[in-house]
Each structure stands twice: as structure tokens, then as C-alpha cells.
Amino acid sequence: MTNSFRLRKFGENKYIRYVYNLANNLSFVHKEASLEKVCLLNEYIGNFHGELVLQALKGWGIKPAEVDFIASHGQTIYHAPQRLHKQQGYSNATLQIGDGDHLAVKTGILTISDFRQKHIAAGGEGAPLALYGDVLLGSKPGENRILLNIGGIANLTWLPADGNYAGIVCTDVGPGNTLIDAACRKYFNKAYDEDSKLAFSGNINEGLLAALLDHPFFSEQAPKTTGPELFSLIYVEDAQQRSNTLNISNEDLVCTLSAFTAKTIADFISKNFKADYIKIFTSGGGARNIYIIEHLKKALPLATIKTTNDLGIDPDAKEAILFALLGNEALCGEPMAIGNNPAVLMGKISFPL
């Protein structure tokens, strides 16, 4: 993802102008991996991302010296909140690779990376970090708003009309596109369900849908985090076995998984936010999933659902913008206490030389 825009003043007269965020939501589902491979990939991804930055800058006609910093999310390979791993003696943990020093040296640009560790060190779960950017960019006094990101995982930020930071909620809700995309890859050799064609060609299997919804995660109190470590095709196959639906058509499977995503989002909003009127602004790949959006509109008749384009934010670039903002905060911001989230400035700084 790329983005160029103006942020808070940095130094005397300089503005943060160009930033590059290399966020990626893919994770390893399996708990075992080669330590050598992880070690090698940490260096490789840092350098590879650096090459992508240089290629992008060349295409834009921008010199590296004109760039103030790179905000690099890195590659999440495992996310392990204590609620899910349940191992005594260990707290929340997460791991992103793609070393910031390699990225900085490769590009010659100051790099801020590894944002999630400070959040965890201060008592958080390391996600979702959309909270800080959503509050600064999406709040409006007098309006109840939800900024809903449907990426691999669906997460949202509730911004109450009274502007009270104590009432703000930012949480993962459940699967976004991760199960739909995984099924499309496995059964149709497609990266995703373009224009929801597969979902619309199938039917919801109510037995499978009930089995998919039968997990303690959905009754846990927010804020909470999750990932493909839980919501994987293994999760789907287990639900199919319990509901005796292993032989349904692949189209019905994609349709049911799409309904699963929509229902978990709608149920969470209906249960937790009792407001007469809510404006919902969507982003991420799921914002273009016609099937999911149509289901949300039917399930939430008192809400208006639009994309973050209405806030002046490209839905495909929202995550890049949010991490650019976190990078800017790390350099010249102040910690914000929002809800029960730790008031911290996140990110490790790597100098190019």
C-alpha cells in the first residue's frame, strides 16, 4: 500500500509528506516453523520491502532524500494473545518480521517499525492498532460513528457522539476475508470472490453457519483480538464435521462463509452499541464485497453504511495511512489514553547509517 499526504508539522517547517506502509495480514496458521527460515526471512523481507520502496519512489519521480520516514508494519507470522494460547506463565505476544534496520539501510530512509511490541509491553494485545488513527481522523462530535475495517480479520472502532475517549471501543470482531479467500484459493484457484459471484451463486447452509458461530470468541468481552491462527480452514473443516456438512457444494461453502463474516459483524454491533442512528464507514477488501455489505445493510437498518471515501480516506489505503500516522506520532506526538488501551508511542526507530 502507498500513500502521500500531509500530516502534523515535523521540525520547524517540514511536513511528513511521503510514507510507505508495508502492512500485510497474512500469518502462518501452523504453530511450527523452521527457526532458520524465520531468521532468514526476517532479513530477506526487510531488504525486499526496501527494494519495493525504491521502485515505488522511482516510479513517482521522488528521491529517497525527499522522504521523511518509512512506517513499516512488517509481516505478521503469528499473533498469540493469552486468551487464545492459554499457556501459564506467558502473556500476550505477537511477531512481525521484516527487519527495520535492513529496510533503512537499503533505502537510506529513517524507518519506524515493529509497532505492536510496545502496545503489548504496556499491557495491550498488540491489536487492533487502528484505534489511534481512527480517533484522530474519524471522530465527529454529535455523530455516533463506527470505522469498520474488513481485512483478513474484521475490526472496528466505535466513536461515540459525545466524544468521550473513555467510551471508545476498538476491537477485532471475527473473520473478515480470511476464510472466504482461503476457500476461494483451495476450491476455485481464485485469490478472492470477485464481485461476490461465488457467494451469490450459492446458498447459506444454516447448519454450518450455526457451527461456525459456536465458539467462545464471539461471547468474549471486547476489546479482543484474533487472527488466522484461529479462523483458518481447519476451523471451517471442524465446523463442517460437527454439522455434517462436509459434502456441501463449494459455492454453498463460500456463500456460508460470507454470511458468517457479515453476521458476526452485525451481531456484534447490534449487541454492543445501542444507538438510534450510527454512521458506519467501511474499508479494506471487504468494503468491496457486495454480498457482505448487502447483508450488513439488511441486518442494521438504523445504520448508514458508506466507505471511508466519505471521510477523504481511500478504503484501500486506510491501513497505510494509519501506520503512517503512528510513525508520525512516534517522532513528534504525545501518548493518548483511549479507553482501556495503553497510552504509548509505538515503533522502533532505525537510522539508515
Mean pLDDT for the stretch of residues 7-25:
34
Beta bridge partners of 158: 146, 169
Q: Which pLDDT score, from 0 to 100, does residue 197 have?
A: 98
Which stretches does DSSP call E strand in the chain? 2-4, 9-10, 14-15, 18-20, 70-72, 75-80, 93-97, 111-113, 145-150, 153-159, 169-175, 278-283, 303-307, 348-350
| Confidence grade of residue 30 (pLDDT, cut at 50, 70, 90) | low
Residues contacting residue 54 through CB under 8 Å, at least 6 positions apart: 64, 106, 107
| Confidence grade of residue 166 (pLDDT, cut at 50, 70, 90) | confident
Domain boundaries in the chain? 2-126+320-334+346-350, 130-311
167: pLDDT strictly greater than 80: yes
pTM, 2 dp? 0.80
| Confidence grade of residue 171 (pLDDT, cut at 50, 70, 90) | very high
CA dist 302 and 280 (Å) reads 10
Beta bridge partners of 155: 149, 172
CATH of domain 130-311: 3.30.420.40
Least confident of 23-32, 67-76, 101-110, 128-137: 23-32
Return the C-alpha cell found at 7. 500530516
Q: Which residue has the higher pLDDT, 228 or 49?
A: 49
Same fold, 2-126+320-334+346-350 and 130-311: yes
Return the C-alpha cell found at 344. 504509548
4: pLDDT strictly greater than 50: no
26: pLDDT strictly greater than 50: no
Phi (first) and psi of residue 323, to 5 degrees: -75, -30
Mean pLDDT for the stretch of residues 220-227:
88
- Are 53 and 303 spatial neighbours (Cβ–Cβ below 8 Å)? no
How confident is the prediction for the chain on average, in pLDDT? 88
22: pLDDT strictly greater than 70: no
Look-up of cell digits 466505535 = 158
For the domain 2-126+320-334+346-350, what is the CATH superfamily, name and number? Answer: ATPase, nucleotide binding domain (3.30.420.40)
Mean pLDDT for the stretch of residues 251-263:
98
